[in-house]
Amino acid sequence: MLIGELAARTGSTTRALRYYEEQGLLESGRTASGYRVYGPNAETRVRNVRDLLASGFTIENVKSFVRYLDTDLPEVFAYSPACSDGYLVGAQRVAELAEKIAALTRLHDILVHRMPWLATPDDASRKEAA
């Protein structure tokens, strides 16, 4: 399978696949003329990478899961913290996201506090609730 086919089968792009390889998340053989060649496992692997990215992990995070990316991930994730590093990475990522959300929320609230006429109905209802 060449890179175009793999991209089509996984709903990604050739650019993304080369990027994953550059990041050490994907391996490929080469034809005599230098084209990347992929085995059938590559499809599962790419799906897993994209699945994790879409779940809020970063590329760096996904590197921690690289050992498990050739089997179906739902299996891995279904049974509690399957691997301790997965747990740690997940927990750290959740904390990072929570922190970023908090920081942006702080900015948002400062802004609304200074310019109260900017409050959205959503803000108003949250204010009522508080």
Among 107, 124, 125, 126, contact with its own copies (rule: CB under 8 A): 107
Residues that bind DNA (CB under 7 A): 2-5, 7, 12-16, 18-20, 28, 31-36, 50, 53, 57-60
Per CB under 8 A, contacts with its own copies among 42-71 are: 54-57
Nearest residue (CB) to its own copies, 5 versus 60: 60
Is 56 in contact with 47 (CB distance < 8 Å)? no
At residue 71, the 3 state secondary structure works out as coil
21 CA to centre of own chain = 16
Q: Is residue 115 near its own copies by the rule CB under 8 A?
A: yes
Q: Taking CB within 5 to 8 Å according to partner kind, which of DNA, its own copies, none is near residue 108? A: its own copies
CA–CA dist 2, 28 (Å, integer): 9
Among 2, 37, 83, 97, contact with its own copies (rule: CB under 8 A): 97
CA–CA dist 89, 58 (Å, integer): 10
Question: Burial code of 32-58, b = ≥16 C-beta within 10 A, e = fewer?
Answer: eeeebebeeebeebbbbbbbbbeeebe
Q: Given the rule CB under 8 A, which residues bind its own copies? A: 54-57, 77, 80-81, 86-87, 90-91, 93-94, 97-98, 100-101, 104-105, 107-108, 110-112, 114-115, 117-118, 120, 122
